[in-house]
Amino acid sequence: MQTKPFLSLADVKRIAAGAEAEALANKWAVTIAIVDDGGHLLWLQRLDGVAPISAQIAPGKARTAALGRRESKLYEEMVNGGRVSFLSAPGLEALLEGGVPVMVDGHCIGAVGVSGVKSSEDVQIAKAGVAALGA
C-alpha cells in the first residue's frame, strides 16, 4: 500500500491565512478557494468588496490546477495559443491564470485559486498561501 500526504484542516487554515495576509497587505479584494487533490472545495473566503462572480471563478481555477497538477495559467496559454479545442476538456472550468497546485514530495495534494484582481496578482496571492504551508 502506498501512502501520500494530504491537506488537513490546519493546513487549509494556514494556506488561507497566508493568502489573506497577502491580499490585505496589498489592499486587494479577492475570493480565495482551496481544494483537495480531487478538486473538492475545502475553503472559500470572499473578502469585502470583491465582485460576486469571483466566488465562482476562484474555485474553478483551484479545481483546474488540482486536476491538472499544474498552474491554471498553462491552460490559458494553450487556449490563447490557438488550441481552443482544450475549452472542451472535461472537468476544467476556469482555464485562467490564478490557480496554483499545492505540491508536497512530488504529490499534488490540492490547489489554491484566487479571483478578484489582475491575474498576476491572483497568482501572487495564491503562491503566498502555498508558501505559508511551508511545504
What tens-digit pLDDT sequence spans the chain (135 residues)?
A: 889 999 999 999 999 999 999 999 999 999 999 999 999 999 999 999 999 999 999 999 999 999 999 999 999 999 999 998 888 888 788 889 999 999 999 999 999 999 999 999 999 999 999 999 986
Residue 15: the pLDDT is: 98
Q: Determine, yes or no, domain membership for 4.
A: no
Backbone angles phi, psi at 130, to 5 degrees: -60, -45
What is the sign, positive or negative, of the torsion defined by CA atoms of 74, 80, 86, 91? positive
Domain boundaries, position 19: 9-133
What are the residues whose beta carbons fall under 8 Å from the beta carbon of 101, sequence distance 6 or more?
65, 66, 68, 69, 70, 71, 108, 110, 111
Please state the domain count of the chain.
1
* 119 belongs to a structural domain: yes
Grid coordinates representing 16 are: 488561507
pTM of the model: 0.95
User: Is residue 1 one of the residues assigned to a domain?
Assistant: no
Burial (0-12, 13-18, 19+ Cβ within 10 Å), 104:
middle
Examine residue 21 and state whether it is found in any structural domain, yes or no.
Answer: yes
Does any domain span residue 88?
Answer: yes
* Domain harbouring 13, CATH code: 3.30.450.150
Q: Is residue 85 part of a domain?
A: yes
